[in-house]
Amino acid sequence: MVMWVFGYGSLIWKTGFHYDERVVGFIRGYRRVFYQGSTDHRGTPDFPGRTVTLQAFPGELCYLEVREKQYDSKDPDSMTPAINGVMVYMASPDTRTNKNYLGPAPLEEMAKQIIHAEGPSGPNRDYIFHLENALNQLGCDDLHVRDVANAVRKILLEMKTDL
């Protein structure tokens, strides 16, 4: 049986299981966001860390539809090979079913939470820096990941100068 798993967070650099093949891919209409709380790996129930989940984000396609409206035809699949039947684990934003969903917050607030959270898998800040590095190695510049990582760096630098 063949099973594809789409890893968009720690599965990129730390799979934790054997796999036969790895391909780089993306899912149209979604983006990574640090909205999922981690009480089991990068935080605790008393002080959850933040990890990425996927959020529907159709705006990119809508923007292109407006920007490229002068073209009389489009082919959404012309050059993009696709793998179907991929397993994707996403956090539900419904806090009735997902008690660890933290949702959006100001960048500085997320960065402070990430700096101070630590769980059995290590400091939450390691998670974001490993993710940023893994994405960079794949040639993926994720604006949200970069912004959060830079906010964490800025606060860490300020904390050093206060010592």
What whole-number distance in Å separates Cα of residue 31 and Cα of residue 70?
27
Most confident of 1-5, 80-84, 92-96, 142-146: 142-146
Q: From the CA atom positions of the chain, what is the Rg in Å?
A: 18
* Whether residue 72 has pLDDT greater than 70: no
pLDDT above 70 for 124? yes
What are the extents of the domains in the chain? 4-161
Q: Which of 68, 108, 118, 132 is catalytic?
A: 68
pLDDT at 163 exceeding the cut of 50: no
Mark whether 68 is an active-site residue.
yes
Which of residues 66 and 117 earns the better pLDDT score? Answer: 117
**pTM score, whole prediction:** 0.81
Kind and range of the H or E run holding 63? helix 59-67
DSSP category for residue 22? -
Say if residues 105 and 112 touch (Cβ distance below 8 Å). Answer: no
Return the H-helix or E-strand segment holding 35: strand 30-38
Which position has the token pair 């949200």? 144
Q: What is the mean pLDDT of residues 129-156?
A: 95
- How many Å from the N-terminal Cα to the C-terminal Cα in the chain? 56
